[in-house]
Amino acid sequence: MKILTLLSLLATHLSASSVNIEENAGQFFSSGHTNNWAVLVCTSRFWFNYRHVANTLSVYRSVKRLGIPDSHIVLMLADDMACNHRNPKPATVFSHKNMELNVYGDDVEVDYRGYEVTVENFLRVLTGRLPPSTPRSKRLLSDDRSNILIYLTGHGGNGFLKFQDSEEISNVELADAFEQMWQKRRYNELLFIIDTCQGASMYERFYSPNLMALASSQVGEDSLSHQPDLAIGVHLMDRYTFYLLEFLEDIHPSSKANMNDLFKVCPKSQCVSTPGHRTDLFLRDPGSALITDFFGSVRKVEITMETINLTEPIQQVEQNFVNEERQKETYSYVDQLPVSEIIHQKPKQKDWHPPDGFILGLWTLILLVFFKTYGMKHLKHIF
């Protein structure tokens, strides 16, 4: 009797372990994505915001190291650090003090640089509403089986993020953009990381499914910078991204670390601010989502079992070298700007705006009329 129960236990254990092997083989199907994209945005310009560019470039390097190719990364940088006149080491952007690690290098592919990093372009990239002339490298060509990583860094506040010191994106706009992505099935799962002051306010308004968000600080807290370098003269990295990168250095393409480990990165003791995260919109359990589901690009692979038996010989491509030469198509470059249209164009009908000072003049006129009719001393009749 006991032997029977032991044997049955053994049998179930064996069948369970064989199911485990099946499950490992079937890990293929657990995440549901077939390709990875990354949108990395640095929203600040000017020399004293060196650390934001270094943040973004470090994340770019990690993401490339873990396998996402340049064609699947949209990198938006102000890009005025490496060639800035104040940079004591031109053509470099360092992320560790004592100039240990140059994250700029010679194979950085920046898709939107300088003044192209605007709220409008960022939203256009996310929603896909780009003009038809935009090249492939500047588009986010994701489909319903893409996992997308979005990383934003810069200066932010409660409910907004400042772009290039001149405009802002609000959390409502961001949430609406993600909802439009969901409506068009432009992502399978999306990981949103933001490293700014009061970063948690940016993910408060999300309402689309399959979103996971991390922020470096809660509402009311500031995210602090980390390493000042005396030779360069500015802070090189922000704390949250620094510790995030330290964590990512241990991740390799076949690592099994999951999102719960990512949430523990940079506790209050190291970061001074309290990092936050949001997983209620994410359909899977965060413990089952691997880091490499978003940061890396592990391809699913199937062995090709069938082949087709082709027996026909190759027919030679017809070559006409009879008397005349083969008509070669002449290729020419497409006009980047329709120059002939521009120089011969009539001035565009702009929307009519009232002349400058109109409102001021209007006030003055109205107030003048009233004071004239009532007189200053009779003001008491009015008020």
Partner 1 sequence: SLCKSVIYGIITYRRRGQLAALSIAAVVIIVGVPLWWRTTETYRAWLPVSQINELSNLQLQLSAEVEVVFARGTVTPEQQKKVPLTQIQDEEHTVDEDTALRYRYETKYRTATIMEEDALNQPTAAEADLSLHTLSESPCGSLVVYVIPESSSLLPEDMDVYVGQRRTALLRIGAQMRVGKTLDQLLAHLEPRIKQVLQVMSFSHTDISAALSDRVRLSPGNKESIADSMRTFKSSPGYEITFSLLNPDPKSHRLHWDIEGAVQTYIQPLLTKLASVANFSIDSQTLYYAMLGVNPRFDSSLSAYTLHSDSLAHVINPVEARLGSNAASSNPVLNFLLYVPDAHHSPLYIHDRKKQEVPSNAFHSPRWGGIMVYNVNGFYGPEAVFPVDVNINMAKVMGVFLAQLRLLLGVQSSTAPSGFLVAPCGSNGLADWELDRLMWSRSVENVATATTTITSLAQLLEQIGNIVINDNIAEQVSSAVTSLQLAVAELETGNLRFALQYSKEAILASERAFFDPSLLHLLYFPDDQKFAIYIPLFLPMCVPILLSLLKIVSDARQKRREKQAKKD
Give the footprint of partner 1 on residues 63-102 (CB under 8 A): 67-71
Q: In angstroms, give the least distance from the CB of 183 to partner 1.
A: 4
d(CA 38, CA 117): 16
Local structure of 10: helix, strand or coil: helix
Q: In angstroms, give the least distance from the CB of 33 to partner 1.
A: 9
Q: Looking only at residues 105 through 124 of this chain, which bind partner 1 when binding is defined by CB under 8 A?
A: 120, 123-124
- Give whichever of 1 and 314 is closer to partner 1, judged by the CB atom: 314
d(CA 198, CA 211): 19
Collect contacts of 127-130 with beta carbons under 8 A, ≥24 apart. Answer: 127/177, 127/180, 127/181, 127/184, 128/184, 128/186
d(CA 95, CA 101): 6
- Binding string, 253-282, against partner 1, x = CB under 8 A? xx----------------------------
Q: Which of 92, 102, 170, 274 binds partner 1 (CB under 8 A)?
A: 170
Asked whether position 317 contacts partner 1 by CB under 8 A, the answer is: yes
Q: In angstroms, give the least distance from the CB of 316 to partner 1.
A: 6
Asked whether position 300 contacts partner 1 by CB under 8 A, the answer is: yes
Q: Looking only at residues 336 through 365 of this chain, which bind partner 1 when binding is defined by CB under 8 A?
A: 359, 362-363
CB atoms within 10 A of CB 174: 25
Tokens of 98: 């004592």
- Give whichever of 67 and 222 is closer to partner 1, judged by the CB atom: 67
Asked whether position 196 contacts partner 1 by CB under 8 A, the answer is: no
Asked whether position 376 contacts partner 1 by CB under 8 A, the answer is: no
List the catalytic residue out of 197, 226, 266, 271.
197
Select the span of 87-95, 194-202, 337-345, 375-383 touching partner 1 (CB under 8 A).
375-383
Maximum distance among all alpha carbons in the chain? 114
Active site residue 271: no
Active site residue 155: yes
- Give whichever of 202 and 266 is closer to partner 1, judged by the CB atom: 202
Q: In angstroms, give the least distance from the CB of 140 to partner 1.
A: 10
Burial class (CB in 10 A: 0-12, 13-18, 19+), 154: buried
Q: φ and ψ at 161, to 5 degrees? A: -135, 130
Asked whether position 315 contacts partner 1 by CB under 8 A, the answer is: yes
Asked whether position 180 contacts partner 1 by CB under 8 A, the answer is: yes
Could you tell me which residues come within 8 angstroms of residue 160 by beta carbon, excluding any fewer than 6 positions away?
Answer: 168, 169, 170, 171, 202
- Give whichever of 256 and 300 is closer to partner 1, judged by the CB atom: 300
Distances (CA, A) of 286 to 38, 89, 193, 262, 345: 19, 42, 15, 10, 57
Local structure of 252: helix, strand or coil: coil
Select the span of 76-84, 132-140, 240-248, 325-333 touching partner 1 (CB under 8 A).
132-140
Q: By CB under 8 A, how many residues form the interface with partner 1?
A: 71
Q: Which residues are catalytic?
A: 155, 197
